[in-house]
Chains A and B, each alone.
Chain A
Amino acid sequence: MTSADPMNPPLIELRNVSKRYNIGQPTEAEVLHGVSLQVEPGEFVALIGPSGSGKSTLLNILGLLEPLSGGSYRLQGEEVSGLDDAHLTLKRHRALGFVFQFHHLLPAFTALENVTLPALMREGRVSPAQDRHARALLADMGLGEAFQKKPGELSGGMQQRVAIARALMMQPPLVLADEPTGNLDMHTSDEVFTLLRAIHAARRTSFLIVTHDPRLAARCDRVIELVDGRIRQDGQSPAT
């Protein structure tokens, strides 16, 4: 599982990563125990496991939102465990897209504005090209009519699709999704998932998706199972 080719490093390379919370306090607990993991560009991976097994923690570490307590993490070949907040922030902006269970759209902004926020925050303005890109993304998500709607005026499935468009806005190589369909009914979940697969097919963006739903996990190319902070199983999905 080691990458030999330095010109084409793995997208994600975790070596023996551990995570402890509340270090030095009576409540100190190790949540991840020596997790090693490698994801290549263009993979479509499901992360499954029982509640409390550390999936969100692992995703937050991969998303540079939380520091790791031990081991090493290379993102696109670059060691990130020692970077300061400013560099991590920049890397998140360039390399990562996020979709969470609760959409986390900004309610005061329209769907289109939510999608262009990542561009706005870097340059202070949205260029016409970026605006066109955002509109095309929303249209791809089937939201051609909803540009000017506020999140409150959209259904749960539509809100989640706006969040996906936003995650794709800066064209990151990796999208991290934490139970993106956890809050949706089965039919809507299927629709959103179909959309994710279509995006993957069109753009070869890598996806790492945390899900509870075995039906959806089965629609991924690779399934990693986390139990009690350890990888129990990592392999090709039987469906593919």
Chain B
Amino acid sequence: MAAWLGFEGRVAVRFLREGRFQTLLIIVGVAAGVAVVAYISALIVGLQRNTLSKTLGAQAHVTLRPLDDEVLSARLPDAPGTQALVQTQARSQRPRSIANWQQIVPVLEALPGVSAVSPMVSAAGLGLRGDGARAIALMGVELARYDRIVQLRSKVVAGEARLGPGEAIIGRELARDLGLSVGDRISVVLGSGGRTVSESLRVTALVDLGVRDLNRRTVYLPLRSAQSLVGLPGGATSLDITLRDVWQAKDLARELSGRWPYDVESWQEANAQLVSALNAQSVSTSLIRSVVMIVVVLGIASVLVVSVVQKQREIGILRAMGCTRGQILRVFLLQGALVGAFGSLLGVLLASALIWVFTSFVRGADGLPLFAITLQPLLAAQISVIATCCGVLAAIAPARRAAALDPAQAIRT
């Protein structure tokens, strides 16, 4: 390997150095292409990661609920040959507990990839304080478990996260709407089984869940309080599951709903629109990448084609001296690879500079960077390898032309 690179490598490097301006131009061209690809990739990765963490920051990766109540027709089966038009009316769904959830939790926790499971009792209700009233979503949780689903403690903006009996954690906007602050009491009211129940809770902390709509509705209370309010002693209306790899959610949801008679939903299904938007982004990025790479390939190829014509005589004399066709081929392939490699090196540096500019000067309304964007070393390496391969690819046609040159003809010209 080193033996043949000795000749081919030396000739390739000299040829490139000889064509100074030409070489510089094409390396800068490759660098520009690589910089664009690297920058856009890093930007999209950052953007998507940011969107995902915002979305997943306030919800479970997989949620397990009881199946909806189904209304079954009470008629006897029809006699053969008769046709009946049957209409059944859907029944309003009342909160129901997941059967055997206490047994399910350890089974779920033992599954590979599952990092946390948390039971919840949720219901809609009203939050009251003085004259103010707001529609709220009541979520009864065990704080220690739930914290591992959405890192609730890290989202506290006032007070101290605590959910003892009679205590509540509420969304920041809800607190503002009702004029509540830490230590105040909020009355929660909900209708259950034809009667109205209410309870008064002391606010221990305000949280920012990252989504305004959630901040406006959410009231966390202890699981037990929720169970008795809703009328499901010992029950849980849903189980929240967090995974180590968010992209496993779909598979796990499918597997679980196949195995158990529950309604299992992944975050992707719960956010179908977001997922298709992310996909559209990824497709656009790939499209831009491909177009840039094609331009890079054509650029390198055109420069090398010109170089083959310019170097005809030299190729001819090398062939006369006993240089094989394969060696000539490799000299030009190597030039393509070198141009690709140096171009990507420069391009990665350029992209890093662009990213630095972006993170230093582009700020959100709060003066903080919009979102973290970094060029991952792995991504940079991937792009460089692809660009180098593009260089070799671009060199194939010119290299074959050079190798096929008739030495006698090349020397005569």
Q: Could you list which residues of chain B lie within 8 angstroms of chain A, going by C-beta atoms? A: 2-7, 10-11, 14-15, 17-18, 313-314, 316-325, 327, 406-408, 411-412
Contact = CB atoms under 8 A, between A and B. Distances in A.
Contact of B322 (A56, A94, A104): A94
B6 A118 contact: no
A212 interface: no
Contacts of B4: 124
A118 B322 contact: yes
28 contacts: A56-B412, A63-B320, A65-B408, A66-B408, A86-B324, A86-B325, A89-B319, A89-B325, A90-B322, A92-B320, A98-B321, A100-B411, A104-B313, A104-B314, A104-B316, A106-B314, A106-B318, A108-B14, A108-B17, A117-B318, A121-B318, A123-B3, A124-B2, A124-B4, A124-B5, A124-B6, A124-B7, A125-B3
B408 to A, nearest CB: 4
A125 B320 contact: no
A142 interface: no
A106 B327 contact: no
A104 B321 CA distance: 11
A93 interface: yes
A98 B324 contact: no
A163 B95 CA distance: 96
Contact of B408 (A60, A86, A93, A123): A60
Contacts of A92: 320-322
Given A65-B320, A106-B318, A120-B10, 12 more contacts: A66-B408, A89-B323, A92-B322, A94-B322, A98-B317, A98-B320, A106-B11, A106-B14, A106-B314, A120-B7, A121-B318, A121-B321
Interface of A: 56, 60, 63, 65-66, 85-86, 89-90, 92-94, 98, 100, 102, 104, 106-109, 117-118, 120-125, 166, 170
B77 to A, nearest CB: 85
A89 B322 contact: yes
Given A56-B412, A98-B317, A125 B6 contact: yes
Contact of B411 (A85, A104, A106): A104
A109 B322 contact: no
A104 B18 contact: no
A40 to B, nearest CB: 24
Given A65-B411, A90-B322, A121-B322, A104 B7 contact: no
Contacts of B318: 106, 117, 121
Contacts of B325: 85-86, 89
A118 B15 CA distance: 17
Nearest to A122: B322
A98 B17 CA distance: 26
A60 to B, nearest CB: 5
Nearest to A104: B317
Nearest to B10: A120
B7 A121 contact: yes
B6 A108 contact: no
Nearest to B2: A124
Contacts of B411: 65, 100, 104
Of B2, B313, B411, most buried by chain A (CB within 10 Å of CB) is B411
A69 to B, nearest CB: 14
Contact of B321 (A56, A60, A118): A118
Given A104-B316, A124-B5, A89 B324 contact: yes
Nearest to A61: B408
Nearest to B14: A108
Contacts of A93: 321-322
B102 to A, nearest CB: 73
Closest 4 CB pairs of A and B: A93-B322, A124-B3, A124-B6, A108-B14
B39 to A, nearest CB: 35
B6 A107 contact: no
B320 A117 contact: no
Contacts of B324: 86, 89
Contacts of A123: 3, 6
Contacts of A90: 322
B313 A107 contact: no
Contacts of B322: 89-90, 92-94, 118, 121-122, 170
Contacts of B5: 124
A106 B327 CA distance: 16
